[in-house]
A = this chain, B = another copy of it.
Amino acid sequence: MATNNDVKNTDRIRSEVFRSKIVTADEAAELIHDGAAIGFSGFVGAGYPKAVPAALAKKAESLHAKGEPFQVRVYTGASTDHALDGILAESDAVSFRTPFSTDGSLRRQINSGHVGYIDTHLSHLAQQVEEGFLDHLDFAVIEISGIDEEGHLIPSTSLGNNKTWLEQADKVILEVNEWQPEALNGVHDVYYSVDVPPHRKPIPLVTAHDRIGRPWLEVDPEKVVGVIETEGGDRNTKFTPLDDVSKAIGDNVVRFFQQEEAAGRLPKGTLLPLQSGIGNVANAVLAGLERAGYKGLECFSEVIQDGMLALIKSGTVSLASATALSLSPDAVDEFRDNIDFYNKHIILRPQEISNNPELIRRIGVVAMNGMVEADIYGNVNSTHVAGTKMINGIGGSGDFARNGYISIFLSPSEAKGGKISAIVPFVSHVDHTEHDTMVVVTEYGFADLRGKTPRQRAEAMIAIAHPDYRDQLRDYFERACARPNAGQTPHILPEALSWHQRFLETGSMRADD
């Protein structure tokens, strides 16, 4: 037996063709060659394979000990878990990674240049592989929750890029994870007609609650070189209780929505489909909507986290469309105990659909994403510290922000105990341009940048900066405006990036620190 996760005699594999392919994770890893490009399942810690990554790491270590090379090129849905990205990185088994990762060990190798990393929009990766812009995939390693009598694959807690990896890879390894609830069967909606140009047709989805596909994944059994039985939980995504800053951000989002409803720019009471990023601030926004008494909202988002589950229970949210269920252990229990209820209110889609620009634009998604920093003119950095160090990646923020009806970015006004301001003169990396940022929210209010010229935007942005930084920002802006030929977007180039440089040198962006 290859790993402790291997469990025989599961009734989850109901097709004889697939039962005949059961192997251990070690046996599957043996098939994978040095340099192989692998499409793994996994999106925000949900539905990643639990056994093959460890077997690959073991294989890498054993080959490296003999002086032989072994590294693979890793494609996923989004972040996975230490049990995939971390252990592969720590065994020096990764040469390339895309599109999004949150693992600390891997991050260090990315930032040293040891691992090649491409920061791809989550909606673009599947099509770019299909179009031949990236590697041809040698393998797909996909977690599922079961295989039915006809050989349909019952998906797991995330769909991510699984449909595309199963189609594109030469060989497929399946992990059937008995830990995943069987009742997930039916919650997924896998659309199979995306195609690449010139064969693309309109995607027939016009509301967040439309079902346009089938509840299973398909695979050519001829390509399946191994089926592994596992039993292991997803990543534990813990949440800290709401703090005052997050709560204030959530309240400011609600105030913005109320302004929009009053002005007739958002339908009263129902708003438009909401996308909400991940983490504590996103959860705080959802909690703010509940406190404000909203009912029957629809979400068209990437991930369903604890906060969303609570809102479904309370009726605040009637429908949540996403590509992954990423829950804390407590929320997993809640979900399992009431799975029939939740399944009525949840649809999981491939990420090329959950994050699809055509659909986000059509149904009018209100996009809400966190950020690292924004500048006074509304350019947003979502990925880099001081312009150089990759944090996690752009994820789906670009998919939603650049196609949404309203694009909102959220952040506490400062970080690192006040040493970093989230509002700066000039962002050190641009992931979302001034053309696309509509609203920025901190605990001090919302800056509504729509219809504002750059100079007007700067006033609005300075007003929501942390009070400790407002004078410093205003000083920069006023001196920039006072220069001869100040231009449409006043800047003092030798100072534009000085806040970041000061942080690198002194540990603080404050001029007086």
Q: A386-B493, A387-B496, A488-B117 are in contact. Are A450 and B403 (CB under 8 A)?
A: no
Which of A200, A363, A486, A487 counts the most B-chain CB atoms under 10 A from its CB? A487
Which of A117, A120, A135, A433 counts the most B-chain CB atoms under 10 A from its CB? A433
Chain B residues with CB under 8 A of A490: 388
How distant is the Cα of A170 from the Cα of B17 in the complex, in angstroms?
68
How distant is the Cα of A131 from the Cα of B364 in the complex, in angstroms?
11
- In A436-489, the 8 Å CB interface with B consists of 438, 450-453, 455-456, 480-481, 485-489
Q: Is the CB of B455 within 8 A of A491?
A: no
Measured CB to CB, the closest approach of chain B to A213, in angstroms, equals 16
Q: Is the interface of A mostly helix, strand, loop or mixed?
A: loop
Q: A202-B204, A384-B489, A489-B387 are in contact. Are A113 and B361 (CB under 8 A)?
A: no
How distant is the Cα of A119 from the Cα of B379 in the complex, in angstroms?
13
Nearest neighbor of A134 in chain B, beta-carbon distance: B451
Measured CB to CB, the closest approach of chain B to A128, in angstroms, equals 7
Q: A197-B272, A362-B197, A450-B134 are in contact. Are A493 and B428 (CB under 8 A)?
A: yes
How distant is the Cα of A504 from the Cα of B124 in the complex, in angstroms?
39
Q: Is the CB of A116 within 8 A of B453?
A: yes
Interface flag for A430 (CB, 8 Å): yes
Task: Count A-side interface residues using an 8 Å CB cutoff.
Answer: 85
Which of A388, A490, A494 counts the most B-chain CB atoms under 10 A from its CB? A388
Q: Is the CB of A390 within 8 A of B200?
A: no
Interface flag for A247 (CB, 8 Å): no
Interface flag for A65 (CB, 8 Å): no
Nearest neighbor of A385 in chain B, beta-carbon distance: B487
Q: A358-B361, A493-B500, A496-B497 are in contact. Are A206 and B196 (CB under 8 A)?
A: no
Q: A361-B358, A398-B435 are in contact. Are A272 and B428 (CB under 8 A)?
A: no
Chain B residues with CB under 8 A of A432: 433
Measured CB to CB, the closest approach of chain B to A260, in angstroms, equals 9
Measured CB to CB, the closest approach of chain B to A411, in angstroms, equals 19
Q: A132-B264, A197-B272, A497-B496 are in contact. Are A488 and B202 (CB under 8 A)?
A: no
5 residue pairs of the A-B complex, CB under 8 angstroms, read A119-B434, A133-B265, A134-B450, A379-B430, A390-B488
